Amino acid sequence: MTTPLLQARDVSKTYRLGRVDVPVLRGASIEVGRGEWVAVLGSSGSGKSTLLHILGGLDRPDRGRRLDPRERAAEIAFEGRSLTSASKRELDRYRRSSVGFVFQFYHLMPELTVLENVVISAMIRRGLGYATRAREARARAKELLDSVGLAHRLRHRPRELSGGERQRVALARALINDPAVLLADEPTGNLDRATGEQVLGQLAEIRRSRGLTMVMVTHDRNVAERADRTVRLVDGRVAADASM
């Protein structure tokens, strides 16, 4: 078997809420193959967003003591390279160049125009080097916005857009740096069914045309059904892993 593109093994994560420790993940494991579309299904509080954040290098799994000697240490790997022991800078770089995030609440910058919201991702990726590639990045952003049907909205602010349009801007932003993997956290969770379907259709189309690897967190079985494979999280553990 070839090395999976993204791999998480025995991931535990406990949050502290006031004085109470709330375990969110309790040894969850997942493997995502190159070009695969994996849906992570679970009820709210099952730890699916946390798993996504850990896969995207935004968060780290617990390093706590292993009570059970048979328990193995948590391990996250991208293209076979471990992210568990990566430095902050390496994780920043990983997020910049290999990962694209799409969130339930779009998370666009309200002061920036549609075009700038997309371009900013390229700015962060390139740093000072962006200056020499600005024209190229803007052209690419326009192309992406055109492909999601927003070519006429470039100079608008997010508040002037509908929910579906905002999520499509977020999608373009996630894609501008050609990431290896797209991590989507309930991308249709805030949209009505019809709009959700439309956005999902675009996601599927983009993934197919680019051979993009995608991990999508959802609580909606209908959404999960469109994926290649569904992973079900129950109480912080993977309860079922079924290929569709």
Partner 1 sequence: MYQALITRRYLTSKVMPLLASLAVVLCTAMVLITWSVMGGFLNSLLSTGRTMIGDVTINWPNRGFAHYDDLVARLEADPMIAAAAPVIETAGTLTLPDDRVELVLVKGVDPESFARVTRYAETIWWKPLAEPMPKDGEREDIRLNPSFQFDDGVGNRRVDWNEVERQGLTLSRVDPETGAPEPALVMGLNVSELNRRKIWGGYVPTYPQRQLADGSVEDVPAFLPVNGEVILSVAPFDSKGRVVDMVTRSIPVANEFNTGVWDVDSRTVLVRLDLLQQMLGMDRARRVEQGDPREAFAPYWDEAAQRWVFTPPDVVVEDPPRVTSVLVRAHDPDLDPEVLKAQCRIIYGGFVAAHAGEVPVASRIRVNSWADLNRVMIAAVKKETSLVLFIFSFISLTAVFLVLAIFWSMVSERTREIGVLRALGASGLGVASLWLSYGLVIGFVGSALGLALAFVIVHNINPIHEWLGSALGIVIWDPAIYVFTRIPSEVDPVHAAMVFVAGVVSCVVGALIPAVRAARMDPVAALRFE
**Cβ proximity to partner 1, 185 vs 229, nearer residue:** 185
Q: How far is the CB of 18 from partner 1 (least distance, A)?
A: 14
Q: Buried (b) or exposed (e) across 94-124, using 16+ Cβ within 10 A?
A: bbbebbbbbbbebebeeeebbbbbbbbbbbe
**Cβ proximity to partner 1, 16 vs 19, nearer residue:** 16
Q: How far is the CB of 203 from partner 1 (least distance, A)?
A: 18
Nearest to 218 by CA among 178, 191, 179: 191
**Cβ proximity to partner 1, 117 vs 188, nearer residue:** 117
**Residue 157 neighbours by CB distance under 10 Å:** 16
CA–CA dist 136, 76 (Å, integer)? 34
Cβ(99)–Cβ(110) below 8 Å? no
Q: Which residues contact 131 (CB under 8 A, 6 or more apart)?
A: none
Question: Which string of DSSP letters, residue by residue, matches 69-91?
Answer: TTPPPPEEEETTEESTT--HHHH
CA–CA dist 95, 89 (Å, integer)? 10
**Cβ proximity to partner 1, 24 vs 212, nearer residue:** 24
Q: How far is the CB of 88 from partner 1 (least distance, A)?
A: 7
Q: Which residues contact 105 (CB under 8 A, 6 or more apart)?
A: 190
Q: How far is the CB of 116 from partner 1 (least distance, A)?
A: 6
Q: How far is the CB of 69 from partner 1 (least distance, A)?
A: 30
Q: How far is the CB of 31 from partner 1 (least distance, A)?
A: 23
**Cβ proximity to partner 1, 26 vs 107, nearer residue:** 107
**Cβ proximity to partner 1, 120 vs 171, nearer residue:** 120
Q: Which residues bind partner 1 (CB under 8 A)?
A: 50, 53, 56, 58-59, 88-89, 92-93, 95-97, 99, 101, 103, 107-112, 116, 120-121, 123-128, 130-131, 173
